[in-house]
Amino acid sequence: MEDIDDDYFSDDLDALPPGTLYELEQHAYQATQGQAAQQLQGRALDTSEPVHSRQNAASLKPPPRLHTGLTNDYDTLEVGELEAEVHDNVDGQQAFVQAPSLAVSNDVWTAHGGDGAMDIDQDYGQAQSYEIKARMQQLEQEKEQMRRELAEARAQAETKAGEIAIIRSKQSRMAEEYDRQLAALRKAMADQENTHKEAVDAAMSEGKMLATENLFLQHDLAEEVHQLRSYKTKHRAPEKVAPVTPKKSRILPFRDGFDDEEIAVVSPSKSAARSKRGTPTVPGKRKRQASVDSPAPLQLSPAGEVNMMDAPTDTSGTVFDDQSRPRDTKNSTQNHLIKRIFSHRMLPDQETDIEAFAKIYFPSEPHKPVSGLIMDELARVDMGDFLLEYMYTIGQLWRRALTERFYGPVPRFMSITRFVLMMDVAPLPGLVSALVGVLQDSVEVNAVPRFKYSPAAREKARIPRATPQSDLHLEVDSTEALRLLYYMSSRLLHVKGALDDLWANIRYTFILVMLHGSQPLKDIMVILPFLSTSIRAASFGPILPSEQDQADVQKWIIDRLSFMLSEPVTPDEGCDPYTVHEVCAMRLEVLLLLESLAFNPPAPSKDHASVILATHPTALPRLFRSMHDELDALYSSPPEQEFRVAMVNGLMRLIFGVMRRHGPLINMQEKLASVSGSKQKHLVVLTRLAFCDGSVLEAGIDDETVDMAHELLEEWTNPQEAESLAEAFPSSRRD
């Protein structure tokens, strides 16, 4: 471009004369545009265009850039130097060339300038289109680069927002962890305080019980003393009458002023035995022998001296009572217990147990009644306590009846056991070995057949019906036997070592058989609180000899309890189906037992059961599935809404507590994949709870439950998903 400009403004052109330059221009115009101008004029004359069109064509002037700067008058030509000046962006992007004016006619410019202007315009338009295309391509490239830069900026902004959200979440989690630890410490302190208070209350209760027992013993002692005195009073001689002087038997002939009785004339020939006179005999009074040396009989002493002689006898009797009082009290207590035991009846208007046992015979020993067997065993056993001896005897006969399938006397055995256990003086620790085994055997009489008809067993054996009545022995009340076990464990809670002895005698198969949906609901409602008494500082359930066996049994118990939250409960054949209220109540008891196992009230710092829950392959997914089903049932406004709301709150507390304690041990995705349907249900239930708005159907859901669900949902979703969920639920209670 610079070369062209230099050629255009070169000194060679400036050196030419003005006439020569003009002539060259004319020749060039004629050579290039003259012929075309003539053809244009010919077409203009031949056509029938309007006059004003031809006039416009004739009046065309050369383009401004061809003006030479000379005058328009041909006759007047001023010769001077040609000056060229280029102006950009004037009248449609055309360049103007100005020079001294030349006298050229309008016709000439019309003839010579038309086609030239068109060619120049076409060339310029083509160049302009190329330039526009190049500019458009450049703009497209710049636009694409700006898009990339915008996308990178947005990605960086989202990354920063995610980092900020993560930092805020961590900060919030740290604050919540601190609050949780503080709450745990406070709870531990409160639990210790409650434990201490319970210990103090137990000591006070034991003191009160001992004081009450002492009062009873004192009362019994007073009664015995009163009976002893009454007995002595009945057998004592009548009240002594003061001795009087014997009346005169005859009138003596002496009248000398002396009493005739003061004169005793004894014949030497008479024996002393015949002549002496004895002291008048009083009923119950010892006779005093007369002195041999005295010729006359001694007179009776006054009444006061006689009472003094009786005093040592009374005193000796009183001392004897004081020395024998403890022995008499113990014997009296035992006699009282014997009377109560042998006078026991199942119902007030029925015969006593001994009378009933006198009519019962074992099939293996038909010649001797049960009452005779009881008496023989009592005579043989010597344990130092009648209650222990009697219950040991009853336990032996009870076990024999179960072995021989002779269930007739079993209800009376249970009634006697309940009567003895209710006594305040019952030696419960000594009764563990005598009763725990036979009570389990009594429960299994009907529990084992029901277990064979459980859902899992029915599916394996292809049995399509419930437990038939023909396989059951309803005279053996399994619920009553479970209640006796539960009562014994409750009474032994504060007896050191006694509760461990009880659970060492419990068979783990007994517990697993009872934790099935085929068992009656009333039996399950008793076995669950009974199992809660087995929670110890480092274990729960039956006590086994090896640690591996103990761990396996605890895992099986957790497995059964988590499955019972959704397991169907089937009644026996011919019985009415269970109501929804009954099933919900049973599942709530299961949940309470799981909470007690996980958080261990006897030792809150211990987490052996919560570790089992966290590492179990299916326990947590089952909890999520059960929570989803309970929350889903709330939307139908059921009458048992209170139970279901309690289940949702409790399940969330249990899951959240286990997740916070043992989060690194839990691979939730793997666990959720092991249970059908739980992978979808756990996200659905967390979303529902996290954005719960507290409507009528969700009334009762705690704010704490909502916060826990929201926190768990944030951990399992990315910030974008959490934000979209928050936008989808704008009216949640949390906001």
> CA-CA distance, 529 to 589, in Å (whole number)?
8
pLDDT cut 70: percent of the chain above it = 64
- Average pLDDT for 524-530: 95
> CA-CA distance, 390 to 353, in Å (whole number)?
13
**Which of 269, 268, 271 has its CA nearest to residue 292?**
271
Name which of 62-66, 520-524, 584-588 the model is least confident about: 62-66
Q: 553-573: b or e for each residue (b if 16 or more CB lie within 10 Å)?
A: bbeebbbbbbbbbebebbebe
Helices (H), 246-358: 272-275, 303-323, 325-342, 353-357
- Provide the pLDDT confidence category of residue 593 given band limits of 50, 70 and 90: very high
pLDDT digits (tens, 9 = 90+) for 269-323: 444 444 444 444 444 444 444 444 444 444 444 433 333 333 333 333 333 344 4
Q: What's the whole-number average pLDDT of the chain?
A: 75
With 60 as the cut, is the pLDDT of residue 624 above it? yes
* SS3 category, 366: strand
The one-letter amino acid code at 645 reads V
* SS3 category, 600: coil
pLDDT digits (tens, 9 = 90+) for 531-544: 999 999 889 999 99
* SS3 category, 51: helix
pTM for this entry:
0.56
Name which of 121-125, 601-605, 646-650, 711-715 the model is least confident about: 121-125
Asked whether 717 and 684 are in contact (CB, 8 A), the reply is no
* SS3 category, 381: coil
Both structure tokens of 314 = 């009374």
Phi then psi dihedrals of residue 119, to 5 deg: -65, -40
Q: 700-717: b or e for each residue (b if 16 or more CB lie within 10 Å)?
A: ebeeebbbbbbbbbbeeb
pLDDT digits (tens, 9 = 90+) for 661-713: 988 888 888 888 888 878 888 888 888 888 876 665 667 888 898 889 888 88
Q: Is the dihedral of CA 95, 99, 101, 103 positive or negative?
A: negative
In the chain, where the domains are located: 15-108
Q: Tell me, what's the pLDDT at 13?
A: 56
pLDDT digits (tens, 9 = 90+) for 411-462: 999 999 999 999 888 889 999 999 999 999 999 999 999 998 876 666 555 5
pLDDT digits (tens, 9 = 90+) for 213-238: 676 677 677 777 777 777 666 665 45
Terminal CA-to-CA distance of the chain, rounded, Å? 71
Q: Tell me, what's the pLDDT at 119?
A: 59
> CA-CA distance, 426 to 423, in Å (whole number)?
5
Q: Tell me, what's the pLDDT at 478?
A: 94
**Which of 560, 550, 583 has its CA nearest to residue 511?**
560
pLDDT cut 90: percent of the chain above it = 35
> CA-CA distance, 680 to 145, in Å (whole number)?
42
Asked whether 598 and 615 are in contact (CB, 8 A), the reply is no
With 80 as the cut, is the pLDDT of residue 729 above it? no
With 90 as the cut, is the pLDDT of residue 362 above it? yes
Q: Tell me, what's the pLDDT at 335?
A: 80
